[in-house]
Amino acid sequence: MTGEPVWPQLDEAQLADTAIIGLEEDADFNCHGDKTLVMMNGWAEGPVAVVLRGGSNAQSVLEFLQQTGLREIEIYHREEKIPQLEEVFLSTVVARAHHIFENTNVYWRRDSSIYELVKDIGTKYGTLVFGAPLAVSEIRHFYQKIKRIFTGSIIVVRAPLKETEFVEGGEIYKWVRARTFDGGDFSLAGVLHNYKKKRSLKIAVVLPTLNEEETVGRVIQTALEVKNVGLIDEVLLIDSGSADRTVEIARSYPIPVYQHREIRPDLGRYRGKGEAMFKSAFVTDADVIAWVDTDIATITPRFFYGLLGPILAYPEIQFVKGYFIRPIVVEASGMELGGGRVTELLVRPWINAFVPELSGYIQPLAGTVAIHSNLLRAMRIPTHYGVEIAMLLQAVAKSGLWSTCQVNLGEVIHRSKDVLGLSEMSFQILQVLRELQRGKGETEQNNMLRRVFSSGGKFEIGIKRFPTHWREYPDHD
């Protein structure tokens, strides 16, 4: 980089639609929602390169550079595996750039990450320009990572957060930008420990189990690793009557192991994951409770940092839901698909039809969550598969959408259910959605799932009951 960094020269008319903020400043990146937001640590002499994926932020990058008088542009783009995303890049970036600039060069790359790309090209340029990450909360972290590997000037451009940017649901997309995190954003345990100490929060991680002998040990070891750095105060395991070696393995570690049916027997006992989650609040006095599934074969400390990070770093956040990349394999065809089939076929359509403000949630049924215990104790908890969506709906109803967030915890490999198992799961979720929509007290509903099978000209009817039991904490109405 040569010369002293200077701000680009923009006239007053251009500045009316553009807000420029120093990336080193302690600035609120949400405060200029109606303007193009340009975040810079200077403007250096020398060649300029642009790293773009496509979409509205990429378009804003091109428009901003046009205002600076730049005539030549070099664009770097990591090839996407999804063809539709490549089409977005071609339509929003390539065609537009050739129209705006006198000379445009586009380089398609196959680097493993944007950071690897920057390491490779950084020495050639004085300034690198990027479209902003999806979530506003990721901008500063993104800048710090680029700064560690690039010594020149850095510019990050974000498109205006206008309601008119989308036909409907502008608030939803604002929430997605500001309340969607990446687990890597909270990878510094020391920083999170300082947040925890400052706020005097006690944190418990609860591990619900049912026949998880192959993976439970690894999950416990990882949780204890995070506990040893001071981020977690308690690791507890709540079993639901495992018939394999799950409990034996768990008891070989220095953690309390409970059977949920033996916790507060005076309140009765039911089967199901929701029952285990409800009972777990009676064996800890923690301010924050996090549940992490014990069938995750790919568990890493990132899961715990990512899940607890938002609730520690942002005092206004009361409820955190993890989401994942979930590859599954359909053995009959060998085809690899994305997980979340009940989400896409049932829950997402229901949300968009009845509570569209929650349509920004990527995986509303994910079971890895963290919550302030006082909010948990104000909820009604169903005892079966509907517990995850019930908690999300109640968290938003009781404390508002912006008190909740989602965080990407990476890739998770779960056991996958067959179609009949998914059908039973869907039925239980529908029972919960129906009651939550109708309101407390209107609990009369069908709990019988009937299936008619036909083969060889004959048919049979199968019947299975799924009663829904709702739990409430004694110290709340």
Q: What is the pLDDT of residue 167?
A: 37
| Residue closest to 129 by CA, chosen among 110, 160, 150 | 150
Q: What is the pLDDT of residue 275?
A: 93
CA distance 170 to 175: 9
Q: Which backbone phi and psi does 78 adopt, to 5 degrees?
A: -80, 125
Is residue 106's pLDDT more than 90?
yes
Burial class (CB in 10 A: 0-12, 13-18, 19+), 477: exposed
The mean pLDDT value for 162-169 works out to 43
Residue 132 · residue 57 · CB < 8 Å: yes
- The two tokens of residue 198 are 């400052």
Is residue 332's pLDDT more than 70?
no
Q: What percent of the chain has pLDDT over 90?
A: 42
Q: What is the pLDDT of residue 329?
A: 44
Point out the least confidently predicted range of 203-207, 233-237, 241-245, 338-342.
338-342
Q: What percent of the chain has pLDDT over 70?
A: 83
pLDDT: is 402 or 423 the higher one?
A: 402
- 336 falls in which pLDDT band (50, 70, 90)? very low
| Residue closest to 406 by CA, chosen among 366, 372, 375 | 366
Q: What is the pLDDT of residue 5?
A: 41
Point out the least confidently predicted range of 115-124, 234-243, 351-360.
351-360
- 63-72, 254-263, 453-462, 464-473: range with highest mean pLDDT: 254-263
pLDDT: is 383 or 477 the higher one?
A: 383
User: 29 to each of 21, 59, 121, 191, 195, how far by Cα in Å?
Assistant: 8, 19, 28, 21, 21
CA distance 326 to 392: 20
Q: What is the pLDDT of residue 91?
A: 80
- The two tokens of residue 242 are 């495992």
The mean pLDDT value for 416-441 works out to 75
Q: Which long-range contacts (CB under 8 A, 24 or more apart) does 118-123 make?
A: 118/51, 118/146, 118/149, 118/150, 119/149, 121/49, 121/76, 122/149, 122/150, 122/151, 122/152
Is residue 439's pLDDT more than 70?
no
Give the bridge partners for 338, in sequence order.
327
Q: What is the pLDDT of residue 429?
A: 85
Point out the least confidently predicted range of 214-218, 286-290, 435-439.
435-439
Q: Which residue has the tokens 């008190």?
A: 403
User: 235 to each of 95, 280, 381, how far by Cα in Å?
Assistant: 54, 11, 22
Full-model pTM: 0.65
- The two tokens of residue 26 are 């302690």
Q: What is the pLDDT of residue 165?
A: 41
Q: Which long-range contacts (CB under 8 A, 24 or more apart) does 277-280 make?
A: 277/206, 277/208, 277/238, 277/381, 277/387, 278/381, 278/383, 278/471, 279/238, 280/206, 280/208, 280/236, 280/238
Is residue 111's pLDDT more than 90?
no
Q: What is the pLDDT of residue 410?
A: 81
CA distance 158 to 306: 24
CA distance 54 to 279: 47
What's the whole-number average pLDDT of the chain? Answer: 83
Helix runs in 78-231, H state only: 83-89, 95-100, 114-121, 139-149, 170-179, 189-199, 216-228
